[in-house]
Amino acid sequence: MWPTEEVLTLVLSRIAPQPKLKSVIENFQNFEHFLAFIVENEREQLLPDFVGSYEKLIFARKEAESQIFKAESFGAKIISYWDEDYPKLLKEIQYPPLILFVKGNILNNGTSISMVGTRKNTTYGKIVAENFARCFAENGLIVTSGLAYGIDTISHLTTIEANGKTYGILACGLDCITSSITRSLVEKIVENNGAIITEYKFGTKALPSYFPQRNRIISGISLATVVVESDIKGGALITARFAFDQNREVFAVPGNINSPKSRGSNYLIKNNFAKIATSPEEVLIEIGMLNQQLSFENSDEKITFDDPVDCKIFETITNEPKHIDVIAEELKIDISDLLYRLLNLEFSGYIRQLPGKYYIRVK
Q: What are 2-61's pLDDT values in tens digits?
A: 889 888 988 888 776 778 888 888 888 888 888 887 777 665 555 555 555 677 788 888
Given a cut of 90, whether residue 78 has pLDDT beyond it is yes
pLDDT of residue 53: 66
- Assigned CATH for 112-167+219-299: 3.40.50.450
Domain boundaries, the chain: 4-74, 112-167+219-299, 308-361
pLDDT of residue 303: 76
Sign of the CA dihedral with 108 first, then 112, 116, and 122 last = negative
Residues 6 or more apart whose Cβ sits within 8 Å of residue 110: 140, 141, 142, 165
pLDDT of residue 311: 92
Mean pLDDT for the chain? 89
For domain 308-361, the CATH class is mainly alpha
DSSP string across 168-227 = EE-SS-TT----HHHHHHHHHHHHTT-EEEESSPTTPPP-TTHHHHHHHHHHHTSSEEEE
> What integer is the mean pLDDT of 255-265?
92
Question: Predicted confidence band at 302 (pLDDT cuts at 50, 70, 90)?
Answer: low
Task: Indicate the pTM of the whole model.
Answer: 0.84
pLDDT of residue 23: 82
